[in-house]
Amino acid sequence: MNKKIKVLYSIFALICLLFSLLSGCKPQPDVTTTLEPDLDVLYVNLTWHQHQPLYYQDENGVFSRPWVRVHATKDYLDMAEKVADYEGLHVSFNYTPSLIRQLNAFADGAKDLYWVLSEKPASTLTEADKRFILERFYDVNWTNIIARYPRYQALLDQRGGTDEESIQVALSAFTEQDFRDLQIWFNLAWFDPVYLAREPLVDLVTKGEGFTEDDKTIVFDEVLKIIRLVLPYHKELQDAGQIEVTTTPYAHPILPLIYDNQLALIGNPGAEMPELPFSYPQDARVHLDLCVDMYMETFDREVRGLWPGEGAVAEEIIPMVAEAGFSFMQTGEPVLAKSLGFDGFTRDSQGLVSEADQLYRPYYVRDQAGNQVAVFFRDWTLSDNIGFVYSGMSGDVGALDLVNRLEAIHAYLQENGFEGPHIVSIILDGENAWEHFPNDGNDFINSLYQRLTESEVLRTVTPSQYLALFPEQRTLEQLFPGAWFSPNYDTWIGESEEATAWDYLARTRKFLVPYESGQVAAHPDALERAFDFMYLAEGSDWFWWFGDDQDSGQDDYFEEAFRALLAGVYTALDAEVPQFVNVPIIQAGPVSATRPFSGSSTPIIDGRNDPGWDTAAFYAVEGSSPVTGFYFTMDEDHFYLRLDVDGAMKDIGVGFYFNVPGGTGGTSAFSRDSGVILGIFANKLVEWNGGEVVNTYEAKESAWQIEKTDAGLAQAGDDILEISFPLEFLGEVAAGDALKLAVVVEPFGDLLPQGGPARVVLPDKGGVAAILQVDDPTGDDNGPGTYTYPQDGVFKDSVFDVTYFEVGTDQENLVLTFKFLGEIENPWGSPIGLSLQTMDVYIDTDPGEGTGARMLLPGRNAALMSGFGWEYAVWAEGWNAQVLQSDPESLVPLPFSEATNAMRIIVDPAQNAVIIRIPLNLLGEGNPEDWAYSAVVMSQEGYPAEGVWRIRDIEPAAAQWRFGGAPQGSKNHTRIIDLVLPVDNEFDQATLLSNFVPSASNPDTLSPDDFAQIPMMKPEN
């Protein structure tokens, strides 16, 4: 071969090589080019969010929880496979890095504790193993899954309850075969029914019982097979253009709070903030960079879409999101409403959004450099209907309802001439809902996908496809800071526990600053490990469970995992773990008093018992402590404490540690002398060390500093110690404030009460001048006379039966008091102690003038009598209490945030009373004695019917969670259980609430006269 030919051949070969390389590296085909824009249809963006927190791995790499693995076999793979069954269907999936990381770990051979115990031969199980299996191997939906398989149900019945006695009996009763069958069934049940109907699992399902150890191999071979398919199969569908996979910042953080946690004050200026600020924009960028790298490695393409952790967004993060390469992100409708300048989108009773043209489109948000990110906003109601409503219907009925609602939105937009295009974003958890559906939701999903693909007016698209079709979109002038369900970050910051966790995070992050700057040297690998622990601790999953607003039933697990990550930061750099990391953030729950506080009193401080202690709270003490019991009570000016001691009083000292909410100083988790972990973060200390006086201390930067010597009185008798000190030492506390109290007896270090702190709720001090007093008849908690209570045991007799209502003033506040015949209990853990009852008070400041709104709040289905109209409505309940105003023009209820934030609700279980205080200066001019009032009681409902503001439905027949006694087919019957009216009043409750014509029409189309009419009460001047 001559030289010229060799050169030509080399050039040809090089061209071929370059062509080959370019072919392999070219971007995947953009499926948006196959779609044509259509302004006559409504586009649907359906996004399934797949996420699990990062679970703890022990020294052997065994995960402590099975939820990644079992959702892989029940949800992750088959959710994608269902999409592939429908040509023309386009769906998005969001996969978080923490989930991807754990899926890869399982694919590489990691196991979880449940897996390990399942593989262990039943013949070698220890008693501890058996106890764990009996307690945890029924962790799946009992009704829709366990009951589906007779042997699994029989094993559940055989075990009985979860109490210690039942478990102890089961330990003896269960045979080796029973345990082996339970080992198999827990893992089989966590497969999707589609897989259980196929080989090789169908043979095990048919067999049902009498499993062998070899059968376990079949199960876990299939587990591993499915796990290894999850991510590659999603990549395959994305490459084919049928789905879009989005992702989330690395550790699922609330990214705006990592940027600067002071952003929380925009959405909630009254949030309880940590002592230390946390602002690390560089960490926020790393979370984005790491998720981009993981996405590229997993899906072999550049990122496009971002679901920020919990949909948390803020304008401040737009530059870094754009710089990381994301073209769009998604969040919730409350953020859009606040960004557009109003409080929330309004819906009629059928769920149709009045501001549909504004909600159903993406918006661009631009930074100062001109970078832009499109933002899609989730329809709250449609998304939540899938998660919480449709599980109670047949699959086809639920799917038909959703598609009908979407087509109704399309019709509304068309009829009103709103210029398209429009897109409805339905975004929700893609894994946890399905076990609550029959057949794991398969019937619902298949029917939904079929109906969506067959609809002539609906088109499914991914967000990227939509933006490619319609790149011109409106621009938001501001992006309000908030998350997928709230225009704030209250779930992750703003409560005491959350503030403490942020302080822990800030102290640990500050420790890394000198390493970050190079002032302190460390091996690069060690520093990388330390920062990885830090980034993982910045995740939102830990903060979700802090505070009163969420409860997993095992919050301690997540809290311990959070502190373990913080400890990992220090140990990675061979540094000593600070003492604060060992102190639990989740304080022990208050323990019930042996005898509850029943009224204020003023004991005589003389070291002897007297009647002043008869109404005090009393805590009995058992065990080896010299203290046999302690008491507390208070009057208007002083707090009183008493200890009963078995032994010499001179040998002991006592510290009374208070956690007072809203304190501005520091806190300490340790007693002043012995360093006992208190179980609370105390900020006030009253200390007695003998003599006739006590000293007071305040926590300053985690240390106790003397506040005042001789701050109160003390007298020790033979076996009684009595103490009093001024209430003003506790700071600016008010009626209804809940304090925690821990007592430490020195030098023994005894911590009292045993099991947790005492709860001290400051009572209403009275001083109220009554202007309206109503004795309401008993036994009328039946609405129009026909209503019956729900069947669940929490609805005890008379809990909604008002016996007394009062309106009064204390010069500064309007004071509203309800008293009930039944006990006020708190079965669902309301932070203010009020779970069941909802109370409305409507105030007409100019009765007879015909101004204000006649309709009560949405869902009450009642109206004020003609001639009356409310200017203010007070809505009191355990989670969402508000004060509202009626719009003078539209008469719709509008939030009155200033009054809501200032309102205080005091729940007094001892008196079965609820006392509401609202500053008078916020209620405008006028004299409350000239106003008119109407008060009603309903049942609080966390998952209300559409268009109903958080009260419980009334149906023809009572059910577990529903009242009975409603007219058949009626949509305008009232949800009022007790209407406050004076005894022997000219009006009769049953007559008033039944005096309407039942209608099946949409309540929003009816006038006030189509509902029950209720009177207002005026004070007798």
Burial class (CB in 10 A: 0-12, 13-18, 19+), 42: buried
Per-residue pLDDT band at 1 (split at 50, 70, 90): very low
Q: Are 275 and 503 in contact (CB under 8 A)?
A: yes
78-129: pLDDT as tens digits: 999 999 999 999 999 999 999 999 999 999 999 999 999 999 999 999 999 9
**pLDDT attached to residue 4:** 34
Q: Which residues pair with 773 in a beta bridge?
A: 806
For 281, the 3-state DSSP assignment is helix
Per-residue pLDDT band at 24 (split at 50, 70, 90): very low
| Token duo for residue 88 | 């023309």
Q: Are 736 and 761 in contact (CB under 8 A)?
A: yes
* CA–CA gap between residue 653 and residue 655 (Å, rounded): 7
**pLDDT attached to residue 663:** 72
* CA–CA gap between residue 473 and residue 470 (Å, rounded): 7
729-785: pLDDT as tens digits: 999 888 778 899 999 999 888 999 988 999 898 887 777 999 999 999 999 999 999
Token pair 């004071």 is at which residue?
Answer: 815
**pLDDT attached to residue 300:** 97
**pLDDT attached to residue 14:** 35
Residues recorded for the chain = 1021
Q: Are 266 and 288 in contact (CB under 8 A)?
A: no
Q: Which helix (H) or strand (E) holds 366?
A: strand 363-366
Q: Are 762 and 737 in contact (CB under 8 A)?
A: yes
CA triple 131-135-138, angle to 5 deg: 135
| Token duo for residue 945 | 């019917």
The DSSP-derived string for 964-1019 is E-PPTT-SS----SEE---TT-SS-HHHHHH-S----S-GGGS-GGGSEEE--B--
698-701: long-range contacts, CB 8 A cutoff, minimum separation 24: 698/665, 699/665, 699/666, 699/667, 699/668, 700/665, 700/666, 701/666
Query: Considering the chain, what is the average pLDDT of its residues?
Result: 92
For 642, the 3-state DSSP assignment is strand
For 490, the 3-state DSSP assignment is coil
Q: How many CB atoms lie within 10 A of CB 471?
A: 9
827-878: pLDDT as tens digits: 887 878 899 999 999 999 999 898 999 999 999 999 999 999 999 999 999 9
Percent of the chain with pLDDT over 90: 80
Q: Are 43 and 424 in contact (CB under 8 A)?
A: yes
Residue 455 has pLDDT above 70, yes or no: yes
CA triple 587-591-594, angle to 5 deg: 160
Dihedral sign, Cα of residue 207, residue 212, residue 218, residue 219: positive
DSSP 234: H
Least confident window among 370-384, 430-444, 900-914: 900-914
Residue 703 has pLDDT above 70, yes or no: yes
896-948: pLDDT as tens digits: 989 998 898 989 887 899 999 999 999 998 999 999 999 999 999 988 887 89
> Could you report how far apart the first and last alpha carbons of the chain are, in Å?
119
Q: Which helix (H) or strand (E) holds 886?
A: strand 882-886
**pLDDT attached to residue 549:** 66
Strands 837-844 and 872-876: antiparallel
How many Å is the maximal CA-CA distance in the chain?
Answer: 120
- pTM > 0.75: yes
| Token duo for residue 232 | 């590659």
Q: Are 105 and 140 in contact (CB under 8 A)?
A: no
Q: Are 303 and 296 in contact (CB under 8 A)?
A: yes
Q: Which helix (H) or strand (E) holds 894?
A: strand 893-895
87-100: pLDDT as tens digits: 999 999 999 999 99
Least confident window among 17-31, 477-491, 675-689: 17-31
